[in-house]
Amino acid sequence: MNSRALIPILLAAILPTAALAQRFEWREVSTASRPSPRYRFGLVFDAARGVVMLFGGHDDSATGASLNDTWIYDGVDWTELHPASHPGPRGDFAMAYDPVRERVVLAGGSNRGGRLRDTWEWDGVDWSLVAASSSGIDNGGRACFDPVLGGVHYNRGPVDLLWSGSAWRNVGVGPNSPAGSGLQMVLAPHLGGVVTCDLGRTLRFEPQVGWTEVWGANPLGLGFYAMASDPRDGRIVLMGGLDGESSTWTCDSVGWQRLSQSLPPRWGARMVFDAHRRKFVLFGGRDNSSSAVHYYDDCYELEIFDQLADYATYGQGCGQPAAELRADPLFGGRPFVGGVLTLLASGLAPSEPVFHLLGDSRTGWNSVPLPFDLGGFGAPGCAVLAEPEVVEGVGASDAAGARRFTIRIPDDLSLVGATFYHQVVGLAPGANPAGLIVTNGGELTIGTR
């Protein structure tokens, strides 16, 4: 039986729970220091250092000069850094954080001297020029980390490139490329990958296929918006856009919803999700909705009050080292109605069948108390930790003994508050007389976004 449809089966034993109310609130942040007014700059969340990082952009001077300053924001104040090296002044460039290599990657852009095609990396201390000029890199690009491709993904119209750490290689396919200006690109596991909004369309990039429509509508159909994604909770937030837009929208796996609260209209602002503090952070932008053009240096945080969904592990797996089940650290995630939870089992035997067990108890399996020791069945140190009400084959482990799989949770508010338990079993010929390895257990409590 497929775990993507198993939760409604288990629901019969769970009493319906009232859905939680959800509230979003923008709050302006007052800080002692902050970057100068600007737009079309770079903004990322540097998870290794736990800070929001800002670089460059175009300022509000009469000449429209470009900037090359580096700032960090820790949730309390902005601090300007003074590295020994840094990229030249620019705006309209692509910037993304690589969580595997723990580097910020910056590519292309423009200044008053023309277009730029170089690539730089930030290691938390200094900037380094890593590619002086690359084909396909230009001004107006966008980038984000793509765990499926395994690196920073750059897009500019029909050009799709992947950064290896030393060079860009072409990964683009298909004719349906983003065509608008001032677009942003984010990782959205709940929508199946890397996503952008382009001229009224919500597009997803799929390896070997290219860009395809998730659905044929987005909130604005405008460019130069600010957009960020919370991969763990499965939510995109989009704010502003060209022509003086002031609205904020959120997107889950069902579609876009407009929030009731608006900010002063702006375009060319930037927004990121601070994964440590679980807040969206927005800075700057430009307003030309009236005859007087205004550049912003304000900072806002979007707080989302929906604390219920949770995922935790318990017990211990067997094997050397012990097999482990956890929420996938690259895709992240918590179990929400209408969402997808991506899981990673590791420490299994290489290239062997893997099975997923799921039930609604961790204390009993019919009349058998849990945990149940499998030592007497030829698997010393192994135990059944979750009621195996549903057993599903999820394919074979890879050569490193790992298996990634997903659980798709129905969009059913009666599931809110329900808790389920699960575990992974892998065949392991020769590991013990029983020829199997089991992981620790996982506990998932379903919530709302």
Beta bridge partners of 215: 202
Q: Which residues contact 35 (CB under 8 A, 6 or more apart)?
A: 54, 69, 71, 78, 80, 283, 284, 297
Task: Give the Cα separation of 376 and 307 in Å (integer).
Answer: 42
Task: Give the Cα separation of 314 and 402 in Å (integer).
Answer: 19
Which of the 8 DSSP states describes residue 447? B
Which of the 8 DSSP states describes residue 219? S
Other CB atoms within 10 Å distance of the CB of residue 13: 11
Of 272, 269, 262, 284, which Cα lies nearest the Cα of 229?
A: 272
Tokens standing for residue 416: 């809110």
Q: Please count the helices (runs of H) and the strands (runs of E) in the chain.
A: 1, 39
What local confidence, expressed as pLDDT, does residue 332 receive?
65
Beta bridge partners of 393: 355
What local confidence, expressed as pLDDT, does residue 22 receive?
47
Task: Give the Cα separation of 78 and 132 in Å (integer).
Answer: 30
Cβ atoms of 51 and 323 closer than 8 Å = no
- What single string gives the DSSP state of each residue in 135-161? TT--TT-EEEEETTTTEEEEEETTEEE
What local confidence, expressed as pLDDT, does residue 61 receive?
67
Domains and CATH numbers, the chain: 3-19+308-445 (2.20.130.20), 23-305 (2.120.10.80)
Q: Is the pTM of this model over 0.75?
A: no
Cβ atoms of 267 and 242 closer than 8 Å = yes
What local confidence, expressed as pLDDT, does residue 305 receive?
60
Helix, strand and coil content of the chain, in percent to the nearest 5, comes to 5, 45, 50
Cβ atoms of 249 and 235 closer than 8 Å = no
Q: Where are the beta strands (DSSP E) in 288-389?
A: 294-295, 299-305, 310-314, 324-327, 340-346, 353-359, 364-365, 368-369, 372-373, 383-384
Cα dihedral: 103, 42, 327, 146 (round 10): -80
Q: Angle at Cα 298 formed by Cα 296 and Cα 299, nearest 5°? A: 140
What local confidence, expressed as pLDDT, does residue 17 receive?
35
- 10-residue mean pLDDT profile of the chain (449 residues): values are 43 35 78 96 97 94 82 97 97 97 97 92 98 96 95 95 95 84 92 89 91 75 89 88 87 83 92 94 88 88 74 95 91 80 95 95 93 96 95 95 92 79 96 96 86
What local confidence, expressed as pLDDT, does residue 10 receive?
45
Kind and range of the H or E run holding 283:
strand 279-283
Beta bridge partners of 226: 239
What local confidence, expressed as pLDDT, does residue 331 receive?
79
Q: Could you report how far apart the first and last alpha carbons of the chain are, in Å? A: 27
